[in-house]
Each structure stands twice: as structure tokens, then as C-alpha cells.
Structure 1
Amino acid sequence: MWNPVSVAVLALVTVLAPLMAQAEGGGFWDTQRTGANSFNRSPSLQPFGEARRLGLGFMRLTFTKWASAKRDFLIGDVSDYRGLVQEDLKILRGVLDGAAKQGIGIILTPLSLPGSRWRQFNGAKNDLRLWQDKTWWNQAASFWKDLAFELNGHPAVVGFNILNEPAPDLASGLAEEAGAEDRDTWCRNATGTASDLDAFYRKVVASIRSADASTPIILDAGFYTQPMAIRCLKPIDDGSVLYSVHLYEPYEFTSHFNKGKFQYPGDVTYGEKTEFWDRERLQIHLAPLLEWATQWKVPTDRLMIGEFGCYRRNRGCATYLSDTITLLNEKGLHWAFYGFREDEWDGYDYEVGSGPLPDTYWDAVDRGETPTRPRPGSPMSDVIRAGLAPPPAARSVRSGQ
């Protein structure tokens, strides 16, 4: 006869079982996974319950915004890493435990590393030390080794994303929209220097693997994770490494800087040209990732679109999301939209809709409160909900596998 304790244990095991697959060397990612980004400033406001009810399989979570007694959460000081901040590590563990209870896989994604403080925490200035002096590589590798050792085997952790949107090419003069020839020239010139992202990743991956042999590792392409920048990377001989790009192009449309100038589909400024952007153009923009994977025989289940999205008040945002999700699902890629229930900014909170938030909300913010945004839903959130991949077990039943 079942007792309440037995039932509770069985329920917990049922929830955690899919997450525990990560211990098998990336098994969690053998089936297409769809999720969201959680870049919240408060560790206590992580929306794991809402994520589970929506049907998200995982979340890219950053801890960089969280408050700490030190300057930089968990790292202590990115200008002088001396080991993990233990008080912060306890907070992070608590958040991960909460994710595990809801069955949400977590990709840990720092916005800062030793030698590279996140621009928004650096007086709006780019911190490029990591890409100018290999001394910082050692500190970054030490940080990841320490963190991997501490979190090895945690049931919620399904990925270590070494650094969100690295940009070693930022100060080089290379255009963000540069083509394959210009990109390849830059890659060759960066080889062996502190800007060599491929060599940096190999060092950090080796450091992580000295402490954790199996947790999947996600590597973002360069120049804010542009698809074309994947050409600077060569696959690492590790079946649990995934490769990620982000999709925010055309940025003149997707960003809040649009201010009504452009709509989707439509003509949008891209670099020094005006181009018509629609689903076909999105596919062309994504193509470098797929061509790279074909060239190096990287399987589709090791490719990820770690972020995509558009400012919710831009005309055509729902269509942009629909075209992007349809394209990614056709290719069978893992993906995570930006963002979900963010506590700092409403610009990519699609459940709010395309209109302004009410004055009562902003009045509460002005009083120092953290009000709940009204989220009636919208065509944008409907598109996301419809595009989410079903749980792996459900897929197997329907496909007869």
C-alpha cells in the first residue's frame, strides 16, 4: 500500500528523471528542446512554476544581475577572481533546487567572466580585457572549473554556457553583418591571439572537464553570437558540447530602437543597405550555422538558438516570432526565446501584449514596489505556446517509437 512519503518520492523522481539524463553525457539534448531565457535581477523571482505550466523544457538562466556582498555575484570581482563566493553559491543552489522541483532544466549563462564585466555593470563601456590578454583566460577557466566541481551532478543543470554573447571581434573594425570572406580573414588573423575564441573555448572546456566529465557545455559564436561568426569555431571532440547562435536580425526592426520606423515583413536597414526581410531572408541569415554543421558533421541535436525575439511593440513582432519558430522547428534545432517573465524590463514580455502598461503599474514601481504585470496574453505569446516542442515522452508515443 502506498504511503504519502512513497507517493511524494515517486512524484519527485518522475519530475527529475528527464533532467537526470544530462548525466549520461548530453542525453537531455538528444530530443529537440524548447525553452526561454530568464535574466532576472532577483533570484527569488525565477518563474519556474509558470515555465512548467507553459510547457518549457529548459531555461537559460543568468546569475550576473543578482545582488552580492561582493561587486560581482559568485565571481567576487571579475578583475581579481579568488574563488567562488560561498554565500552566493548557496543562493544559486537554492534557485537550482527550485528549478529541479518544477522539472525545469537550467543552462547557467554568465554575462560576465574574469576580465569581461558585463557592459551594463561597467558604466556602459565594453570590457574587452579577456580578448586582449590571455592572463584573463586562466582566471576564467579557474572560475568555470570551480563552479563545475560544485554543481557536478545537480539534477537541474543541463548546460554550462561559458559566456553569453562573447564579442572578441568587437573592436577589430569587422562589420557585424560581414560576409563569409571577411569573417574568415578575421578568424585567421585572430588565431593564436587573445581574440581567438576557439582556443579560449578549448581551454575552458578542458578546465570544466577536469572537474565534471559529462555536463553539457554550450559555446556561443562570436560577435554577439551571430550565425556567421560560427565560422571561427571548430568542433571540440566532446559529444556533450553544443554550439549556439542568437537571432535578432534585422536588429533595426527587432529592437526597441525601431520606434515605428520598420515593420515585419518589410524593408529594413541592414548594415549599409535596405533589404526586404521575411521568412526566406531569416533562413538565409541562419544558413551559416547549418552549413558549418554540415561541413564539420555536427549533428542537429548539438545546435541551439540560444536567444531570439523582438520588442513587443514593434509592428509585425508576432509574425517575426512565428516565422522564426517555424523555421527552427523545421530544422529540429533547440531554441529559447527571449524573454520570459523578466522582472526588470517589459520590452520582451510577450504575455503583456503590444500596448503600454497601465499607469497603476508604473505608480507602484515609483513607490518602490515590484508589481505583477497584467498578462492577458497576445498573438505573440500564442505563437510561442503553439511552437513549443512537446515533452519527449509524448513525442515518442505519437511517433510510435
Structure 2
Amino acid sequence: MQFWERPRHGANSFNRLPPDQAYFDALRAHGADWVRLSYDKWKAQERDFLMGDADRYQGVAERDLATLKEVLGRIDKAGLKAVIAPLSLPYARWSQNNGGKFDDCLWQDRRHWREAARFWRDLARALRGQPGIAAYNLINEPAPEKMGGLPEHAAPGRMLQWYADKKGGSRDLPAFYAELIRAIREVDPDTPIMVDAGWYAAADAFAYWPGPLADTRTLYSFHMYEPYATTSGPNLRRKPPLRYPGDSRFGGAAQYWDGQRVAAYLDQPLAWARAHGIPMSRMVAGEFGCIRTLDSCERYLDDVLAVLQRAGVHWAFYAFREDNWDAMDYELGKGKVPWTYWDAMEKGLPDPVVRRATPEFDVIRRRLQGGE
């Protein structure tokens, strides 16, 4: 846990191809010290990378494991630390690898948890001693609440009532995490664990958690894209688009969002941590971002980062030089990417676009390099 004793700043890597050494060297040169690594878009040995088949897990796929270890070696060589963050687990295939459908199987039957725990035990055993791993982020953006009757961004009282009804059942997220952590600790007593809040890691979704997990080497992660109605791609198709600062939609209601509202929203997971004696060194903003072509994207990023920096929490922006989705690649500025970007994607070739300094990325780069 020593790595996490002071605030750490980094980026998300959700690329379609395993990144090369130059990619991680460039991230390190910007001042990052960790990368949240997802592998689910990489070409798999079978259907699902590392798992073989998320519906019938039989063991870690060896060729996929070798690829992952190669990438982890590049991260370590660049002087970065890695947080491994799967988008899928057994019985919970990521929707973009599942025909666009949300896979709720994991949250329908506690017996399915055993396969997710077995996968993590197998992976932790296989990676024991691998240099450069700073944490295992057990699953990206879990949402057991989605099909379980709890509206997104419900009031805290309603969340608590919901959890009182679901506690001990198949949608009990803290209990699910506890089972996976026990499996990992059977083979690895040391590697820190990172857990996302529910409802896609919403910053308000720790509200129903009764307290921290029993494992003391645990970090608690939330994501920040609110108000999503403004910061997301569909907003750009509105005529006119919603603006920031400005009126937006959140939790089914109209709200005005500015730096003050961002700060109030982001204080919710921090207040939960304070109430339960969890130090800020255990809190992580695992993702945050906005569509780069939004007129005021840089102002939004600045407002979010100002809160995170004052709080002294760890953070990782979304995303660094993503090679199959350009919308939050801030080094591209506000213009369209050239056709070569899409041509390379279609042909399965590396991204050829050269990045550059932009006002949007400068907001992040300053903080990566220790500025305010």
C-alpha cells in the first residue's frame, strides 16, 4: 500500500490494441505515475479475453495471459504502476462485447459469484510477483442496482431502504466484493484491491454501503461524468446542446451545474469516507471526463480536478490516446480526427494520429506535473 500513501495521478487505457512501449513512455513523460488498464477490447484467444468464455469459465487463457504480462512489463519499464481493471467477469460480460445488452446474470444468483471469485483467484495466482502492479480493480462500473429496482441517483434514504431489502442477496455489492477478496487473499495477501461504487461507479452510490470492507488493503473508487446529459456524446446532437455551466438533467430533474455543484456532488463519496474513518489516501476518482468537442470541456475538467486536488485523492482521467473512440482524447483538441484514424481501426492497425498540446489536455497535464 506504500505506493498509495500520497496522491497518485494517472490515466485510463481502454485501447483496442495492446499499447506499445512508446504509448506508456509518453504517458510517463506527461507526469503520470499510474495507469488504469483494461484489456477487454484486445483480440482474445477465444471469445472473452483472459476468461475464454464468460458464460463458461474454465480457467485463464494462457495466450491472453502472456499478452497481458507483456503489456505489464512495458508499463513497469516506463516507470508507471498498473491497476488492472476488467470490464467483464464470468456471468457479467461487458455490454459492448455482448451485442449492446446489459448482462445481469452475475447479479441474479449468488452461485454465479463463485465463478467470478475463481477467475480472480486464478488471475492473482498467475500474476503473483509480476512487477509494477499497484492494485486489482475487481470490476469496472458494476451495476447490480440497474435491474434490481433502484433508480440511478436515488436519494440516500431510498438507497438505504433498497440495500436493507437486498442485503445478503445476489445484488449485495459489498458482500460480492468480500467474496472476491477472500479468493484473492488465498493466493496473494499483499496486492491492494480497488473497488468501484455501484450504479456504474457513481459518486453518490457509496451512500448505502454500511462501511468499509474488512480487508484493510482496499481502495474505494468512483467515476465522474455528471451531469452526463451535458458531458456525453448525445448532447452534441441536441440543437442547441446543453452547456456547462448551465441547466442540465440529473436524477430525472432539471438542475443547474457549475463548479459549485460539481464540488457538492463530488463531496458525497468523500463525506461517506470521512463518516467511516476512511482516509483520503484510500479514495480514488478512477475515471472522469467530458466530450472534448464540448465548448467548455476544459472548464469542466478544471472544476473536477480542482475538487480532487484539494481533497488529496488519487485520480485517473479518461482516457489516454484511445485508439477506437476519439471523444475523450484531449490531445486531439476540438477538431475531427483524420480519416486515417478510422481506416487504421477498420484494418486493425495501430492508431497513426500524432497528438499535440491543446487547451483541453493542458488542464490535465498541469496537474500531472504537479501544478494547480
Q: Same fold per TM (> 0.5)? A: yes
- Mapped pair 1:239 → 2:239: no
Tell me the distance in 2 between the aligned counterparts of 1:371 and 1:57: 23
Larger radius of gyration: 1
Q: SS at 1:127's partner residue? A: coil
Tell me, yes or no, if structure 1 residue 290 matches structure 2 residue 267.
Answer: no
State the 1:272 CA deviation: 2.6
CA distance in 1 between counterparts of 2:37 and 2:174 reads 23
Q: CA deviation at 1:44?
A: 4.1
Is structure 2 residue 18 aligned with structure 1 residue 38? Answer: no
Per-residue Cα deviation, 1:199-245 (whole angstroms, up to 9, x for no partner)? 10011011111111111100000000112211233312333100001
SS of the counterpart of 2:101?
coil
Q: Does 1:160 align with 2:140?
A: no
1:378 and 1:294, CA in 2 relative to 1: closer, same or farther beyond 3 A? same
One-letter identity of the residue aligned with 2:12: N
Q: Tell me, which stretches of 5 or more residues in structure 1 are unaligned?
A: 1-25, 392-401
Letter in 1 for 2:136: F
CA distance in 1, matches of 2:106, 2:316: 27
Instruction: List aligned pairs for 1:301-340, cutoff 5 A.
Output: 301-340=281-320
Deviation at 1:364, TM superposition (A): 5.8
Work out the CA distance in 1 between the residues paired with 2:342 and 2:95: 26
1:252 lines up with 2:229 in the alignment: yes
Instruction: Check if 1:52 corresponds to 2:28.
Output: yes
Question: Is contact 2:156-2:208 (8 Å) kept?
Answer: no
Matches within 5 A, 1:87-126: 87-126=63-102
| Shift in alpha-carbon separation, 1:270–1:366, aligned structure 2, 3 A | same
Please report the TM-score for the alignment, with normalisation by the length of structure 1.
0.88
CA 1:102/1:274 → structure 2, altered by over 3 Å: closer, same or farther?
A: same
CA distance in 2, matches of 1:78, 1:363: 30
Deviations 1:114-142 (A, max 9, x none): 01000001111110010001111000001
Counterpart residue number, 1:27: 2
Q: Secondary structure at the match of 2:205?
A: helix
Report if the CA contact (8 A) 2:324-2:345 is conserved.
no
How far off is 1:367 after superposition? 6.4
- Quote how far apart the aligned CAs of 1:30 are: 0.3
Task: In structure 1, give the amino acid aligned to 2:308.
Answer: L
Counterpart CA distance in 2 for 1:351 and 1:192 is: 45
Work out whether residues 174 and 186 of structure 1, in 8 Å CA contact, stay in contact via their aligned partners in 2. yes
Aligned to 1:82: 58
1:136 counterpart SS class: helix
Correspondence 1:373-388 to 2 at 5 A: 373-388=353-368
Partner in structure 2 of residue 399 of structure 1: none
Q: CA 1:201/1:389 → structure 2, altered by over 3 Å: closer, same or farther?
A: farther
Counterpart secondary structure, 1:229: coil
Q: 1:114 and 1:284, CA in 2 relative to 1: closer, same or farther beyond 3 A?
A: same
Describe the SS at the equivalent of 2:266: helix
Cα distance change, pair 380–173 in 1 and its aligned pair in 2 (3 A): same
Q: How does 1:66-215 map to 2 (within 5 A)?
A: 66-215=42-191
Secondary structure of the 1:243 match is strand
Partner of residue 325 from structure 2, selected from 345, 370, 377: 345
Counterparts in 2 of 1:362 and 1:67: CA distance versus 1, 3 Å: closer
Q: Larger deviation: 80-89 or 268-277?
A: 268-277
Give the TM-score, by structure 2 length. 0.95
Secondary structure of 1:257 counterpart: helix
CA distance in 2 between partners of 1:385 and 1:283 (Å): 21
Give the partner amino acid of 1:333.
Answer: V
Offset from partner CA, 1:28-77 (integer Å, 9 cap, x none): 10010000000011114472111111111101001111112211111111
Measure how far apart 1:371 and its partner are: 4.2
Partner of 1:290: helix, strand, or coil? Answer: helix
Correspondence for 1:272 among 252, 267, 271: 252
Q: Which residue of 2 aligns with 1:261?
A: 241
Count of residue correspondences = 366
Work out the CA distance in 1 between the residues paired with 2:82 and 2:158: 36
1:62 lines up with 2:38 in the alignment? yes
Shift in Å, 1:344:
0.8
Residues 254 and 310 in structure 1, CA contact (< 8 A), matched pair in contact too:
yes
- C-alpha deviation, 1:370, in angstroms: 3.9
Q: Which runs of 5+ in 2 are unaligned?
A: none
| 1:372 pairs with one of 352, 356, 371 | 352
- For residue 81 of structure 1, report the CA deviation from its aligned partner: 1.0
Q: Deviations over 1:53-106 (max 9, x none)?
A: 111110100111111221111111111111111111111111111111111100
